[in-house]
Amino acid sequence: MSANLIPLLWDATLQTLYMVAISALLGTLGGLPLGVFLATSQRGELLSAPWVNKVLGLVVNATRSVPFIILVVAIIPFTRALVGTSIGTNAAIVPLTLAAIPFIARLVENAIREVEGGLIEAARAMGATPLQIIRKVLIPEAMPAIALGLTLAVVSLIGYSAMVGAVGGQGLGDLGIRYGYQRFMPEVMAAVVVILIVLVQLVQSLGEWIAARLDRRAPRNRGH
C-alpha cells in the first residue's frame, strides 16, 4: 500500500467515527425518552396513555420498516432543509440519527420492560411519582441492558455509515467503494474492511465491559 493512502484511510476513519458518534449521541437523546415512554404508557401502566402509545408504536415500526438506503434518499429534502446540503458527513448524520432513534427506542423499551414489576410496586408504596419511578428505579435497574442495547445500536450505525457513502456521505464505506471498487485497488478495500472489523470489535468489547461494570445482579468476587 502506498504511503499516500494512509492519510486517506485515517481521514475516512475519523469521518466514520464522527458520523457514528454524533448520530449515536443524538439517537440516544431521542431514543431513550421515547423507549421509556413506550415501555410505560400502555393501559394501566405508570404513564398510561394507550392511544399515544399506539400511534408512537406505529411510527417507530414504520421508520424501522424502511430500508436504510431508501430512508437516506427519501429524506434528502429534509436533510437539505436541516443542514443546508445533502452531501458530506453532516448531511449523513441526519438519516443515521433518524434510523437510530426508533432502533434505540425499541432496545430501551425492552430493557425497561425487563425490570421486575415488584420494584415498581415497592416504589409506588414509598409514595414515588411516576417520574421518580422512571428516574430512580426503572432507568438505573435497566442500565446494564440499555448499555448492551446501545452497543448493538453503535455497531449497526457503523454498518449504516458505510452505506451513506453511496450518497456522498464520506467515511470508510465511501472510501472502500470509490478506491477499492471503482479504481480497482483491492488493498484499499481490504484495509477498509480490517479497520471496520477492528472498530466493531472495539465497540463491542467496550460496551460489554461497561454493561458488566453496571450489572450488580450477580455477586462479585471481593477477594482483594
Partner 1 sequence: MSGTAQNDAAIIFDRLGKSFSKKGGPRVMALDDISLVVPRGSITGIIGRSGAGKSTLLRMVNGLEQPTEGRVEVSGHDVGSARGGALRAIRREVGMIFQHFNLLASRTVWGNVALPLEIAGTPAAQIRTRVDQLIDQVGLGALRDRYPAELSGGQKQRVGIARALATSPKVLLSDEATSALDPETTQTVLELLGRINRDLGLTILLITHEMAVLRDIASHMAVIEGGRIVEAGPTYDVFARPTNPTTRSFLSGVTGATLPAFVASRLHPEPPGDQVIRVTFAGSHATDPMLSLLATDLGITANILGGAIEEVGPHPFGNLLISVDAARADQARAYLERHGLSTEVLGHVR
Residues binding partner 1 (CB under 8 A): 116, 118-119, 121-129, 132, 136-137, 140-141, 143, 214, 216-220, 222
Q: Which is nearer to partner 1, 137 or 175 (CB)?
A: 137
Least distance to partner 1 from the beta carbon of 133, Å? 9
Nearer to partner 1, 7 or 127 (CB): 127
Integer Cα distance of 96 and 101 in angstroms: 9
Minimum gap (Å) between residue 113 Cβ and partner 1: 16
CB of 141 to partner 1, least distance (A): 5
CB 105, min distance to partner 1, A: 22
Residue among 88, 28, 9, 98 nearest 60 (CA): 98
Supply φ then ψ for residue 54, to 5 degrees.
-60, -45
Angle among Cα 75, 95, 107 to the nearest 5 degrees reads 130
Residue 222 grid cell: 471481593
DSSP-assigned letter for residue 104: H
Q: Closer CB to partner 1, residue 114 or residue 187?
A: 114
